[in-house]
Structure 1
């Protein structure tokens, strides 16, 4: 009796899957279909919104570029006008400066003080006579 004894366990009963009723399976299938339709609808709506957005941007970009070009033109004109205004301001302050009175009168009129010589510029130098 020294023989090796095998441990024997009684066979366990095979567990069967719980039997789901047809009604529950139909409900689950219906739920999955509804969820799939909802996801499809969401994706479709998002695609429509994305398409409308891209089309709107395609229309707005040329308008934006033309507005930027007009803005550059206006800024260029503003710089030119600012330079013009600065020059006119300098002239204005010079014209109303009492110390510049005599020089301005000589520039605007042809009156010179008696101690000044008048210089006349000619195009061609005069030839010297021998």
Structure 2
């Protein structure tokens, strides 16, 4: 009964609906047949669930080698990505260095053989093979 019908009944606006006086008789099933039906139902459920478990297990067994090969490929890809990230970081640092106005003079010095007039060029030589000679820079006239 809905809230509106209960309200109408309590106020006296509508008469409550009477359920029909017809009684439904239930047929009794003997206990033995009832237990047999429950046993059959449980057996069918068990068989279906066992079938599902068997299908799931066989699918997992079939997919396991593919999963391993995909994991190996993923590991190789991750290693390559790490190498590329390191390379990109190096290139970005080099790029920033070459286009930094404060370091442009130093970069030009590195890329050419010229040195500033107030600097002396030092060449490191192995002492066992040869004696190092230091020559003063020549003055450009």
- The reply to whether TM is greater than 0.5 is yes
Unaligned runs of 5+ in 1: 1-23
Aligned to 2:131: 126
1:86 equivalent in alignment to 2:89: yes
Alignment equivalent of 2:105, drawn from 102, 113, 123: 102
Q: Which has the higher contact order (CA 8 A, sep 6+)?
A: 2
Aligned to 2:50: 47
- Distance, in Å, in 2 between the alignment partners of 1:101 and 1:30 is 98
1:67 equivalent in alignment to 2:101: no
Structure 1 residue 68 displacement after superposition? 3.0
Structure 1 residue 79 displacement after superposition? 2.5
The equivalences for 1:17-32 within 5 A come to: 29-32=32-35
Unaligned runs of 5+ in 2: 1-27, 133-141
The CA RMSD over aligned residues, in Å, is 2.9
SS of 1:68's equivalent in the other structure is helix
Aligned to 2:40: 37
Q: TM-score, normalised by structure 1?
A: 0.60
Q: TM-score, normalised by structure 2?
A: 0.56
Cα offsets for 1:75-130 (capped at 9, x unmatched): 33322222222221111111011221221111111122233333333342339xxx
Give the aligned length.
103
